[in-house]
Structure 1
């Protein structure tokens, strides 16, 4: 009888079923990552789907993939480009977002709608005019070709605008009474209070640039400008049938963004949860 009541209490407990569904979702998400990781540890020459004894797992594939793929230069290029684009987007998004959230001027809503409209335009559609502009400026095959096309982003502007709208206006009014101008208010009050939104934008932008293959493929041909994703694509062409080596290269390219997300996940969740509260 006790077992019957226990089963009935579980069947009527909504928390249990929600937790079970969440665990199933986590399992579905982590399963491909687990397959990639264990494949990267398998001995060289192991066929896809072949059972692998635990005592034969090895990290030798990582050393081999790092050396054969020349990932050191690619990591340096991707880090530089991702940090530069992220810095530009933080600056442009903070300035434009603050103007749209606080400054009263004619056409403000129209400008906001135009910025939001850019979110539905794929970057691939703009690649030809961007390429022509970069060519006109003699910027093809330079770092500028990888940085400038995405130095500003409509999503970042909208994100910062929404977060700035949640900050009480009284704080700015008090600072203005003390003699602070708009830039001082933005720098000393708004940006420190907007740390979750800034971290969220940082993570979105950095991860997006780190995983970007399109820009390096179109705007650069010089080997010294190779990014991680371009190096990974070339590595895949060379070792198509060597699954262990290929999966080790994939893990190497993925580790930085995973670590970055784990470091900033608390601020990221807070930033997502607190934006969009006010229109």
Structure 2
């Protein structure tokens, strides 16, 4: 067998060491191990969802889970609520964020700190006064009870404020000299330039509302208002022993948000990376 010459071996080692340092190899190893740890539960869920009681491959679990969970209604309700909350949060966050980024008025920093303080208050602490207000307005057991309580969010306002602050003020001055008013500057210049932040806010809000169980559980009792998470919770109570059926239901409920995130992941990363440029 032909052996490589020492020169060839030395060249190979030199190329290897130049391309991969010890630190890079350790980083790559840690990342691979982290990916395995993260993906392992997903693999277990997928494997269980395709397994029949006799341990053979089957698609019957998905068909049974779809019909028994009545996911058509749950998907429609979750989509309506998530889009409603997302649309309102984008509007409120854009308006408030623009005011905090561009307007000068007394108490602006105090308002910003107050908005940031709301991020540490869990919604569960506000559920009683929120429930009383919704009941007083006769909104319990309606879509509005699931949409209005989270129509504005401190995270969204702060996110948009940070992104607006990173946009050069000269662009706004040029538009003002051309005769644009504040509304036109916001809608025709600031918002188009803030597309990554808007997509980031959309993904955060939509996924959060899609996965929310607390509001539907507290503010609704009508079966026709059941969301995906309520369907999953009832599914688990009814079919606790059939793990394959439950795993199939979990996969079904996860597919829409997974597709949505994959579509917007590039803008999502850009939006997160650029919101802390300017204070």
Task: State the TM-score, normalized to the length of structure 1.
Answer: 0.93
Of 5, 26, 34, 2:35 maps to 26
Cα distance, 1:25 vs. partner? 1.1
* Aligned counterpart, 2:44: 35
2:145 pairs with 1:150: no
Cα distance, 1:12 vs. partner? 4.0
22-31 or 112-121: bigger deviation:
22-31
* Aligned counterpart, 2:207: 207
* Aligned counterpart, 1:168: 168
Runs of 4 or more consecutive aligned structure 1 residues displaced over 6 Å after TM superposition: none
* Aligned counterpart, 1:235: 235
* Aligned counterpart, 2:108: 108
* Aligned counterpart, 1:16: 25
Structure 2 CA distance for aligned equivalents of residues 162 and 19 of structure 1: 33
Partner of 1:31, secondary structure, is helix
8-17 or 175-184: bigger deviation:
8-17
Structure 2 CA distance for aligned equivalents of residues 249 and 213 of structure 1: 15
Match runs of 1:12-161 below 5 Å: 12-43=21-52, 45=53, 52=55, 56-161=56-161
Partner of 1:234, secondary structure, is helix
Structure 1 CA distance for aligned equivalents of residues 13 and 46 of structure 2: 39
Structure 2 CA distance for aligned equivalents of residues 20 and 123 of structure 1: 39
Structure 2 CA distance for aligned equivalents of residues 257 and 134 of structure 1: 29
Structure 2 CA distance for aligned equivalents of residues 262 and 164 of structure 1: 25
Q: 1:271 to 1:11 in 2, by over 3 A?
A: closer
Q: RMSD of the alignment, in Å? A: 1.7
Structure 2 CA distance for aligned equivalents of residues 98 and 215 of structure 1: 29
Structure 1 CA distance for aligned equivalents of residues 119 and 66 of structure 2: 36
Cα distance, 1:27 vs. partner? 1.3
Q: Deviations over 1:43-62 (max 9, x none)?
A: 0x36xxxxx5xxx2111110
2:198 pairs with 1:198: yes
Q: Deviations over 1:69-89 (max 9, x none)?
A: 101000000000000000000
Structure with higher Rg: it is 2
Runs of 5+ unmatched residues, structure 1: 47-51
Q: Deviations over 1:61-119 (max 9, x none)?
A: 10110001101000000000000000000000000000000000100000000000000
Cα distance, 1:11 vs. partner? 8.0
Structure 1 CA distance for aligned equivalents of residues 193 and 31 of structure 2: 32
Structure 2 CA distance for aligned equivalents of residues 148 and 11 of structure 1: 53
Cα distance, 1:15 vs. partner? 2.1
23-32 or 140-149: bigger deviation:
23-32
Runs of 5+ unmatched residues, structure 2: 1-5
Cα distance, 1:263 vs. partner? 0.3
Cα distance, 1:266 vs. partner? 0.3
Matched residue count? 270
Partner of 1:57, secondary structure, is coil
